[in-house]
Structures are given as structure tokens and as C-alpha cells.
């Protein structure tokens, strides 16, 4: 199915090689080990080897890394003829984005004598940034070339770092699990990109824009991995001790409540009461998104459950009723429904974070206030902190929407090898697919009457 416009023989190698060579040069000039990674600096002082941050952070990093490469990758394998691309392009853009994010986050979060210091925490933060890019990938899934995805990642990682710097450093916003910086930003950035890349004749590929039994089962693997490791994701970079413990616990209960709400709403919104696998694959994860901002705060277990419960309901309703309206009225073709899993739950999480911050007092936090809200300890009022949390949401939406629109226009350039409307959601455009394509399609569609009777018997 590949023609001259979608042939990647020169385009993809040129982009991959040039980008990696540039990254290697920049790393050589700017990046060095941090204090806890450098042999000479670490052994220059007396301390236990087990005081190294590696032993505290690396287990969380492993969990986050699994979420990025397996969780997100397999979650997007629901399309019947796009499994290679879902996992494979996820792998490609994640490998690039984590390198570029190391540089961009280093630039914006402080250079040390002209150098960017890297350690296990910078690896986690780079994965967080990569997660935001992969969320946007979900919005354009099946409609873009690998070159377009790499170009999108270049711009999105840069804007992510800018937004993160404004929120965390300038405004002093708290967002440990990234409800705003990761999920809201990635979702609305991706939605604007897919809006600009609107395809009026995408119905010509509607036969591929659907799942089959085994593809939904593969996608459920991604859901389970994400669900299991989300407490690590939200707590990965919080302060050691009670903060990390509390964040993991709040996420744990929010996910559990969200799952029951998702199952209930999925059945309730179906006229025959049957569960929809799309709802279960996605909405059951919304609780992890919605508790991201307030996870390290004193949200309480029952508060976390309320947040997760609401997130599950909102997410299912979004898939059932809002997504069709976004496509028909606003021309937003959101392949994976990132608005329902990451967008709306991310906004909910930001609101919950602002409300929880407004209720922060020293009676509740005690000496722990310095870890959770250091600016309040310095004299900022809780109401001011809440207002800045809300402002952080507005800034995130502004940068994401404007940035997504601009990047969308860049990606519209015809040189990037996007697939035509007639063959979107198809692996064989960019991949060697085992077997003859025509034979495979015949197997899917040509069922003899006697076989049909046997299957229906």
C-alpha cells in the first residue's frame, strides 16, 4: 500500500540520524553526571552507599518506564490493523522524547555552571514529559507518519518544558502526578493538532478504525500495566517519607473507586446493559489522572475515592456522548479518546488540587507543610496558593491549545509522508506485514455461507 508520498526510505532515516547526531553533540557539550552519579564527587564525602538517591527513586523509575513503553504502547493496540504502529511508533517517539526532554528540562530548570546534571530523578522527569507526548500521539493515532510524530515530539517537549517551568518554578504550583503538566497539557495539545489535521474524508477508512476481539485484549494488557503502576507514577518525584507514601495510597484508592464507577456507568449507558471494552480500557484509569495534582496533599482516602468515582463517571460519559459531538460539531477526530481519559480528568484533578490547597492549614499538615506547600511556609496564604493552582490550569490550557494549533499547521506540510484518507489506521503503509495483504483482508471479510451458519449455530 506504500506509494511515493508515504515511502519512508529516505525521510525516516534522515530525520532519525540527524536528530540523534544532534542529541549526541548536545549531550557531549552540556550534560554531565550529578553529584550522586559521579564517581569522584560521590566518594569525596563520608556517607553510606545506600544514602544514594538511586535506591529510593529507581524502583519508581522502573514502574514509570514500564508504563511509558508497555502501558501506553499496548493501550493503543485496539485498532485491528494498527498494532505494529501503536507499539512501534510509541517505542520510537518515546526513545527520542526522553533524550530531548532531558535537555529541555535541564535548560529550564537550572544549569549548574553551564552544565545539565542528570541522575535518576531527571530520568523520571524525562519519562513524565515523554508521557505527555504519548498522550498527544493517542489523539492522532493512525493518521500520521512516523516523521510527523518525531516533528511533533520536538515541539511538544519544548513547550512542555516551558509550561512546566512556568507552573512549578514561577507560580509555585504543586502538581506531583502531573494532572496539569502531563495529562491536561498532552490531551489538549493533541486535540488541537488533530483538529488542524482534520480529515474530511476519514470515513473512507472507517472499516479499519475499529477493534476486533484480539486487538481489544491486547489493549487491555496496556490498561492493566498502567493501572498497576499508576501509584508509582504519581509518587515518583514526591518527597521521601510520608509524602511519597500518601501519594501512592491516594492513587491506589482513587483507581479502585474509579474502576467500579467505570463498570457501573458502562453498563448503565448501554441499552442492553452490556459492558463496552473501550470504557473499561480507558475510563478505569481516569482516577489515576484525576488524583495527580492533589495526590501528595492531605486529600484523605475517602476524598481520593470520591475523586476517582467522579473521574470514572465523567470519562465514560465522555466516551459515550461527548466524543461523537466533538467529531461532528468541532471536527476533532480523537482516535483514542484522550479527551475522556486525560483531558477532562486532568482538569478535574487541577480543580481538586486547587480546592485542597485552599483548605491547607498548619493544623492539618504540621511540619509537613514545608514539603507539600513550601510557599505557604514562606508566607503565602492558602487562598493565594489555590488561586495560583487555578491559574496554572489556565496557563497549561493556553500553551497547549496555542502550541498544538501551531504545530498542527507545521505537520500539514506535505513533505512528511502522511497517509491518505483512504488508508489510515493501516500498518502496511509503513511496516512489513507478514503474509499477503489481500489474503488477510479476504480472510477477514470473505466468510462462506456454510461457515457463517456453523459460527452462528
Mean pLDDT of 356-380: 96
pLDDT, one tens digit per residue, over 424-448 is: 999 999 999 987 445 444 444 444 4
Q: Cell numbers of 400, please?
A: 497547549
pLDDT, one tens digit per residue, over 96-136 is: 999 999 999 999 987 888 999 999 999 999 999 999 999 99
Mean pLDDT of 201-217: 93
Residue 435 falls in which region: left (phi positive, over 0), alpha (psi -120 to 50) or beta: left
Given this model, what pLDDT does residue 185 score?
Answer: 98
Q: What are phi and psi of 347, to 5 degrees?
A: -65, -40
Give, rounded to a whole angstrom, the gap between the first and last alpha carbons of the chain: 37
Note whether 373 and 357 are within 8 A (CB). yes
Instruction: Give yes or no for residue 454 having a pLDDT over 60.
Output: no
pLDDT, one tens digit per residue, over 371-410 is: 999 999 999 999 999 999 999 999 999 999 999 999 999 9
Cα separation of 166 and 395, whole Å? 8
Cα separation of 169 and 238, whole Å? 15
Note whether 197 and 408 are within 8 A (CB). yes
Closest among 415, 280, 425, 297 to 350, alpha carbons compared: 297
Given this model, what pLDDT does residue 440 score?
Answer: 47
Instruction: Give yes or no for residue 36 having a pLDDT over 80.
Output: yes
> What pairs with residue 117 in β-bridges?
32
Mean pLDDT of 286-312: 97
Given this model, what pLDDT does residue 234 score?
Answer: 97
Cα separation of 76 and 93, whole Å? 14
Q: In the chain, pLDDT over 90 holds for what percent of residues?
A: 88
**DSSP 8-class letter at 116:** E
Cα separation of 106 and 116, whole Å? 5
Mean model confidence pLDDT for the chain: 93
Nearest-10 Cα torsion for 235, 241, 242, 248: 20
Cα separation of 389 and 353, whole Å? 7
Extract long-range pairs of 13-16: CB within 8 Å, 24+ residues apart: 15/147, 15/150, 15/151, 16/150
Given this model, what pLDDT does residue 448 score?
Answer: 43
pLDDT, one tens digit per residue, over 242-262 is: 999 999 999 999 999 999 999
Mean pLDDT of 140-149: 97
Mean pLDDT of 169-184: 97
Amino acid at each position: 500500500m506504500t506509494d511515493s508520498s508515504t515511502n519512508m526510505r529516505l525521510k525516516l532515516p534522515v530525520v532519525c540520524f540527524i536528530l540523534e547526531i544532534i542529541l549526541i553533540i548536545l549531550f557531549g557539550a552540556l550534560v554531565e553526571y550529578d553529584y550522586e552519579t559521579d564517581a569522584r564527587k560521590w566518594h569525596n564525602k563520608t556517607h553510606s552507599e545506600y544514602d544514594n538517591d538511586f535506591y529510593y527513586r529507581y524502583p519508581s523509575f522502573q514502574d514509570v518506564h514500564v508504563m511509558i513503553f508497555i502501558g501506553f504502547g499496548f493501550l493503543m493496540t485496539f485498532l485491528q490493523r494498527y498494532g505494529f504502529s501503536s507499539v512501534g511508533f510509541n517505542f520510537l517517539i518515546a526513545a527520542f522524547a526522553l533524550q530531548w526532554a532531558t535537555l529541555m528540562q535541564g535548560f529550564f530548570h537550572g544549569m549548574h555552571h553551564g552544565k545539565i546534571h542528570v541522575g535518576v530523578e531527571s530520568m523520571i522527569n524525562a519519562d513524565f514529559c515523554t508521557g505527555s507526548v504519548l498522550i498527544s500521539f493517542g489523539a492522532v493515532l493512525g493518521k500520521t507518519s512516523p516523521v510527523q510524530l518525531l516533528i511533533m515530539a520536538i515541539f511538544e517537549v519544548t513547550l512542555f518544558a516551558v509550561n512546566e517551568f512556568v507552573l512549578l518554578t514561577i507560580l509555585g504550583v504543586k502538581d506531583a502526578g502531573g494532572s496539569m503538566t502531563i495529562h491536561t497539557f498532552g490531551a489538549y495539545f493533541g486535540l488541537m493538532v488533530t483538529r488542524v489535521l482534520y480529515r474530511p474524508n476519514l470515513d473512507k477508512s472507517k472499516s479499519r478504525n475499529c477493534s476486533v476481539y484480539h486487538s481489544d485484549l491486547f489493549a487491555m494488557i496496556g490498561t492493566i500495566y498502567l493501572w498497576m503502576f499508576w501509584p508509582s507514577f504519581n509518587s515518583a518525584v514526591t518527597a521521601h517519607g510520608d509524602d511519597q507514601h500518601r501519594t501512592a495510597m491516594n492513587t491506589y484508592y482513587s483507581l479502585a473507586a474509579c474502576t467500579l464507577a467505570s463498570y457501573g456507568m458502562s453498563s448503565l449507558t448501554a441499552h442492553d446493559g452490556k459492558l463496552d471494552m473501550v470504557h473499561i480500557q480507558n475510563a478505569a484509569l481516569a482516577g489515576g489522572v484525576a488524583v495527580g495534582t492533589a495526590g501528595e496533599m492531605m486529600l484523605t482516602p475517602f476524598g481520593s475515592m470520591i475523586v476517582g468515582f467522579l473521574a470514572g463517571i465523567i470519562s465514560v460519559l465522555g466516551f459515550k456522548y461527548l466524543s461523537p459531538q466533538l467529531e461532528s460539531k468541532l471536527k476533532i477526530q480523537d482516535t483514542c479518546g484522550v479527551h475522556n481519559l486525560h483531558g477532562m480528568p486532568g482538569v478535574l484533578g487541577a480543580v481538586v488540587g486547587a480546592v485542597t490547597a485552599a483548605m491547607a492549614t498548619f493544623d492539618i499538615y504540621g511540619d509537613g507543610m514545608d514539603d507539600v506547600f513550601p510557599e505557604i511556609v514562606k508566607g503565602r496564604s492558602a487562598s493565594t496558593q489555590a488561586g495560583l493552582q487555578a491559574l496554572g490550569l489556565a496557563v497549561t490550557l493556553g500553551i497547549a491549545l496555542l502550541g498544538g494549533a501551531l504545530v498542527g499547521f507545521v505537520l500539514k506540510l506535505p513533505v512528511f509522508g502522511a497517509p491518505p484518507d483512504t488508508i489510515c489506521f493501516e500498518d502496511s503503509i509503513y511496516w512489513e506485514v507478514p503474509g499477503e495483504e489481500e489474503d488477510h483482508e479476504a480472510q477477514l471479510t470473505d466468510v462462506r455461507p456454510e461457515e457463517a451458519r456453523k459460527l452462528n449455530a
